[in-house]
Chain A
């Protein structure tokens, strides 16, 4: 087991890019390698040691034996854990854009908030965010029609707009509320939102499942009631309470299911 701890010591308003500092690439680096390394900032590269104190303990045979601790505010560090396939990353603070984007395995935990595009096009592994995420969590690349395809994202706070657009697999759990168009264009996968949702979940959805345990502000006309179920079992999980099940989006001949907590959404009954 190898523990790599990076403690920030200087702030750069131009974001640092950490796509090269993932367990897959650094598992065999020693301290000198880190000290030699220059991190991309804007159109240049600067020594990593200008920005971080580096500590390394233990050794690793492969990325799965690496634990990286980014010990502080990473609010201007983009692409943390981008494309990683194994190992653990712990961020003790906020994370900037694209945390966990395109990851295929391993785990990332952010003890703070995450900026937009967290878990974009995720293909595996797990991403846990203790705070809120901004827009486009678990989405596709712009113009791509396949978004997150596997893996798990857990958000303990709230999620922003267009959560998981074009999702084609995997699971997303949001404990808090969620803004417009969660699961838009989704074709497969599971989204569970614990809190309230502003408007229009699952617009243009073709398939997959969205569960909303809180109150929904506005539902689209493209959804038709299929029935009301008590303690339904959805996606292999037993939910408690009454749920209204909708099918849609009719506009795209969708066969997706949208489950709304009946108690909280009595106006729709």
Chain B
């Protein structure tokens, strides 16, 4: 990494901004602003800083509609909004997906629109921590705040997750390196454990690495639980781990003062899906007979947890909620985005603050090419290539203030630091405007 001169040429510093990238929601960032642009970011990791600063790259600036030749052409807000509203008003199975990179305030408007037209509302949890949410509903949620981990934890386990790459400041800000009230020496007072088939960057810096075999998660945790209950293990190697190592690890986990288990998609999306989390939660419950243990999913986007909290609070269900019959329904495999797309049900797809074009499986994307897609976003991306109507929003946490929830469910106010481009509109405004226009069309046709 080449040395970069510190930035000294700026007009003002906006302090205590919140990073709008990963679920760590670091809220200690300082933006150096010059001519209404963020020229440097202090305290953020490279992921966060580059998202905040290089945002102007490929920025969607003006509304666009795809014409008969298949090209996206620029248009005015009225035309674009009317077109989108007309598509939504006439749809039989509309699906509104995304929401994890926008504010709770915008989600609120989105839910109103969803309920009004009888659509399905879903967020990225459907392809990431959905299984976690299901397991939590089954067996409970022994969670904590990251502050507690910082001050108390002397053992931290990362399972199926690689925070060194995906949540770079997680270890330095919350779990491993900071000095806490009961951990005055920081890293030296803590043991870092990684359960991961891969020798990831987090595994490389861990004190203990447990490389259980791929898809062996459930069996591995089941064995630890059996050891906790006093069973003598029968097989010599369980899920790729020698039984002596499992016994040793179980002893170590029993004998800490405060343990925290963090897990990522490596646990939620292997063979037994939600049951991996289910059994991990039960393991944490078992360990609490000996000492304090807690658990937390490593949520990806800065507000993916916020959507689940918001929707559970409003509707009783965390994601994939279907209003087509007028009341909320939630059924994994039936009202969730990928399944609906694979079944080729939706006839209009609205994506807001998400990039299905980059993340969805081929079969689901194939259906998106057949139906009208409305995109509300700040960046040009693979989803723009699929979109028929593009509505450029604003950047939450930089250009627009809003509320988000950190991975440990702590709500955080995200500041506005600069003004958005003149031709863009706030996400919240766009969604509300769609609602008003759809309402007008529906009422006119009554």
* Residues in A lying within 8 Å of B, measured CB to CB: 13-15, 17, 40-44, 76, 78, 97-98, 116-117, 135-136, 142-143, 145, 162, 180-181, 184-185, 199-200, 203-204, 218, 220-222, 224, 249-253
Contact = CB atoms under 8 A, between A and B. Distances in A.
A251 B118 contact: no
B226 A44 contact: no
Given A14-B92, A199-B271, A221-B234, 14 more contacts: A13-B344, A14-B347, A42-B91, A43-B94, A97-B333, A143-B138, A181-B218, A184-B275, A185-B138, A203-B279, A204-B282, A221-B233, A251-B229, A251-B282
B219 A221 contact: yes
A251 B330 contact: no
A221 B223 CA distance: 5
Given A14-B92, A181-B272, A221-B226, A142 B330 contact: yes
16 contacts: A42-B91, A42-B93, A42-B118, A142-B330, A143-B134, A180-B272, A200-B218, A203-B218, A204-B278, A204-B282, A218-B219, A222-B225, A250-B225, A251-B222, A251-B226, A253-B229
Contacts of A184: 275
Nearest to B215: A199
B272 A142 contact: no
Contact of B275 (A97, A142, A145, A181): A181
Contact of B225 (A14, A143, A200, A251): A251
Interface in B157-191: none
Contacts of A76: 343
Interface SS of chain A: loop
B382 to A, nearest CB: 24
B134 A142 contact: yes
Nearest to B330: A142
Contacts of A180: 271-272
A252 B282 contact: yes
Contact of B323 (A14, A43, A162): A43
A42 B324 contact: yes
A13 B93 CA distance: 10
B184 to A, nearest CB: 36
Contact of A13 (B235, B323, B345): B345
A222 B286 CA distance: 14
A43 B438 CA distance: 15
B331 A142 contact: yes
B122 to A, nearest CB: 14
A249 B222 contact: yes
B331 A117 contact: yes
B226 A41 contact: no
Nearest to B135: A143
A98 B332 CA distance: 12
B324 A40 contact: yes
Contacts of B436: none
Nearest to B283: A251
Given A78-B334, A143-B138, A203 B347 contact: no
Contacts of B344: 13
Nearest to A253: B229
A204 B279 contact: yes
A15 B332 contact: no
A13 B344 CA distance: 6
Contact of A221 (B134, B231, B272): B231
A162 B134 contact: no
Given A43-B324, A200-B272, A224-B231, A13 B333 contact: no
B235 to A, nearest CB: 7
B334 A117 contact: yes
A256 B162 CA distance: 37
B119, B228, B272 interface centre (most CB from chain A within 10 Å) = B272
A203 B344 CA distance: 34
B298 interface: no
A43 B282 contact: no
A43 B228 CA distance: 51
Contact of B222 (A14, A42, A222): A222
Contacts of B226: 221-222, 250-251
B325 interface: yes
Contacts of A221: 219, 222-223, 226, 231, 233-235, 238
The 7 closest A-B pairs by CB, nearest first: A143-B137, A43-B118, A251-B225, A42-B92, A42-B93, A221-B223, A43-B324
A13 B138 contact: no
A203 B332 CA distance: 21
B90 to A, nearest CB: 10
B414 interface: no
A229 B228 CA distance: 29
A199 B235 CA distance: 15
Given A43-B119, A250-B229, A203 B222 contact: yes
Contacts of B334: 78, 97-98, 116-117
B34 to A, nearest CB: 49
B26 interface: no
Nearest to B92: A42
B233 A41 contact: no
Nearest to A120: B331
B261 interface: no
B117 interface: yes
Interface string B312-337: 00000000000111000011111000
Nearest to A180: B272
A17 B324 CA distance: 11
A11 to B, nearest CB: 11
Contacts of B117: 43
Contacts of A200: 218-219, 222, 272
Contacts of B238: 221
Nearest to B286: A251
A44 B92 contact: yes
Nearest to B367: A13
Interface string B112-124: 0000011100000
B93 A43 contact: yes
A49 to B, nearest CB: 18
B333 A116 contact: yes
Contacts of B332: 142
Contact of A250 (B118, B119, B231): B231
Interface string B21-34: 00000000000000
Contacts of A136: 333
B267 to A, nearest CB: 15
A116 B223 CA distance: 30
B271 to A, nearest CB: 6
Contacts of A43: 91-94, 117-119, 323-324
